[in-house]
Every structure is written in structure tokens, then in C-alpha cells.
């Protein structure tokens, strides 16, 4: 994967955030922690920063997936950021720190996870987080972004973003509807964002389908498959989500939420999801 040079403005942030980024990096460097950007910043980097597509929504949070193999190291990182770099903890969520009115989520993955991809840490409020797919996305040749020449970070691929959002939605469908709308936004523009890769490596699909959105969605499924095949349990879970939302059209919860983005029909969205599943399982 390559290196993309973008500005803070293109990911919906102000240049002043550089101070927070430097503080964060000093903490990661001190404890030898590797990390990558996920969530809204990664999405906005692809859509607005690289492809000049205005995102559907913006958020002020910054989400880091941090590779932690020793629970004590995670606690030491937080203590350092609080005591030496001026971050403030929150009582509601042990994975969130705040600096200069900016919320930073530090989501640990790696050997710190239990067999259910769950991490529990010290603190108050929300102290347990599920991180399925984080390790597999990390292992899949991540690209990098350079922010205004100051900071260079790894960040999730678009298939990685869709995979993680799909899992997050399934964990809390009642509060994570925006994840499905974000997935819809990515699928809506995926052909334009990924056209060179599609023409070069997925040209077989043009003999079977004329709709570019359906072709791109099937390619998205193929790319997600490459990530999920690293973990049999992860693959089965994603396949189960796609089956549950394509086998029974009237009861597809994903398709129902997608209507709020596309303003179309259940049939239209299930057709799209069927292409996603076909690419994922072929």
C-alpha cells in the first residue's frame, strides 16, 4: 500500500490538533506500541482526503487501534498520557482520553484479547470492549497517510473499515445505525474510489454485470474476504451477518437502515447485499 498526503481540513480537523498528535505519538514511541487509525478519521481520509468525496457526516473523535500484548503496558500508556501529556480520563469510558476538548479512543487489540476478542481494563464506566477483526485488518498491508507533513500514520483500508463497522453494528444494532449508513456511503462511491483496482484485477465481473455499483460491491466482498480468511471464526461471523440480511428480504435489518441513506427499497438494498455476500463467499 502507498503513502497519501492530505491536510487536517480534509479529515475534518484543525491544524491545532497536531499538538495532540505529537503527544499521542510520544506515548506510543515510549512504550514501543504500533497502531493504526480507524473510524471516522480513516473514512474521511479515503473519501474526502484522497478521493474528494464529501463525507455524509463528521465527528470530532479520533479512534486508534493500538497493538497491545501486555495489559500492563496499556495501563502504563494511559498513565503516561495523563500524567505527562495533559490528557484527561473520563468516568464513563476507560478507553477514552480527552485533550484540548478532543476525544481520543485507544482501542487495544492483540495478545491482550481473550478468546472472544474481548478486552477488559481498569477504570470506571465502560471497561470492556470487543475488538473482533482489529488484528486481521492490521495484518493486511495497511496504507499510510501523512497529515500536512507533520505526522505519518497507518490507517485502515476501505474493506477493513466496512468489515469493522459491520461487526460494530452487529454488537449494538440499536445504537450503531450510523455504521450501516457509513457502509452505504462507501458502497455508493466505491467504484469511483477503487476504479483502477477494479478494472485491472476484477475485469471478469464486467462480463456478468453492467451496474457499476453492483460490480464494486462484489469487489468489496472479495476484498473483505481476504481479511476475514485470516481467522476462521471471523470469516464465519461475517458470513453469518450477510446471510441473515439476504436470506429473508422482509426482515433484513441492514437493508431497512440502508433505505435511510439511499431512499430506495428493501429489494434494492438486498440486491446490493447479495453482491457483497457473493464476493465474500466466492
Residue 162 lies in a domain: no
For the chain, give the percent of residues with pLDDT over 90: 80
- CATH number for 27: 3.30.460
Name the band, by pLDDT with cuts 50, 70 and 90, for residue 1. Answer: low
Tell whether the model's pLDDT for residue 61 goes beyond 90.
no
Number of domains within the chain: 2
Alpha helix ranges (H) inside 86-211: 134-138, 158-171, 177-201
Residue 41 lies in a domain: yes
* pLDDT digits 0-9 by tens, 187-211: 999 999 999 999 999 989 998 778 9
- The residue from 156, 189, 215 where one domain ends is 156
- CA-closest candidate to residue 275, choices 230, 226, 231, 213: 213
- The residue from 103, 123, 156 where one domain ends is 156
Q: Give me the mean pLDDT over the 168-174 stretch.
A: 93
Tell whether the model's pLDDT for residue 60 goes beyond 80.
no
Judge contact between 13 and 153, C-beta under 8 A. no
Q: Which domain holds residue 110?
A: 3-156
Burial class (CB in 10 A: 0-12, 13-18, 19+), 199: exposed
117, 208: one domain: no
188, 207: one domain: yes
For the chain, give the percent of residues with pLDDT over 70: 99
31, 138: one domain: yes
Amino acid at each position: 500500500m502507498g503513502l497519501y498526503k492530505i491536510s487536517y481540513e480534509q479529515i475534518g480537523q484543525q491544524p491545532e490538533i497536531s499538538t495532540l498528535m505529537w503527544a499521542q505519538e510520544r506515548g506510543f514511541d515510549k512504550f514501543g506500541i504500533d497502531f493504526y487509525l480507524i473510524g471516522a478519521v480513516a473514512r474521511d481520509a479515503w473519501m474526502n482526503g484522497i478521493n474528494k468525496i464529501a463525507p455524509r457526516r463528521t465527528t470530532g473523535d479520533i479512534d486508534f487501534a493500538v497493538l497491545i500484548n501486555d495489559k500492563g503496558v496499556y495501563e502504563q500508556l494511559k498513565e503516561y498520557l495523563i500524567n505527562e501529556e495533559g490528557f484527561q480520563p473520563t468516568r464513563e469510558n476507560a478507553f477514552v482520553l480527552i485533550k484540548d476538548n478532543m476525544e481520543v479512543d485507544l482501542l487495544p487489540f492483540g495478545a491482550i484479547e481473550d478468546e472472544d476478542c474481548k478486552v477488559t481494563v481498569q477504570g470506571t464506566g465502560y471497561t470492556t470492549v470487543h475488538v473482533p477483526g482489529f488484528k486481521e485488518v492490521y495484518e493486511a498491508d495497511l496504507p499510510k497517510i501523512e497529515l500536512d507533513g507533520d505526522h505519518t500514520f497507518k490507517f485502515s483500508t476501505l474493506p477493513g473499515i466496512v468489515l469493522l463497522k459491520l461487526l460494530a453494528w452487529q454488537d449494538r444494532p440499536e445504537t450503531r445505525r450510523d455504521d450501516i449508513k457509513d457502509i452505504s456511503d462507501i458502497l455508493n462511491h466505491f467504484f469511483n474510489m477503487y476504479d483502477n483496482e477494479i478494472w485491472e484485477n476484477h475485469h471478469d465481473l464486467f462480463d456478468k454485470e453492467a451496474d457499476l455499483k453492483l460490480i464494486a460491491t462484489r469487489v468489496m466482498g472479495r476484498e473483505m474476504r481476504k481479511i476475514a480468511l485470516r481467522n476462521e471464526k471471523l470469516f464465519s461471523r461475517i458470513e453469518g451477518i450477510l446471510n441473515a440480511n439476504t436470506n429473508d428480504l422482509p426482515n433484513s435489518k441492514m437493508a431497512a437502515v440502508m433505505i435511510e441513506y439511499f431512499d430506495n427499497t428493501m429489494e434494492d438494498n438486498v440486491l446490493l447485499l447479495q453482491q457483497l455476500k457473493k464476493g465474500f463467499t466466492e
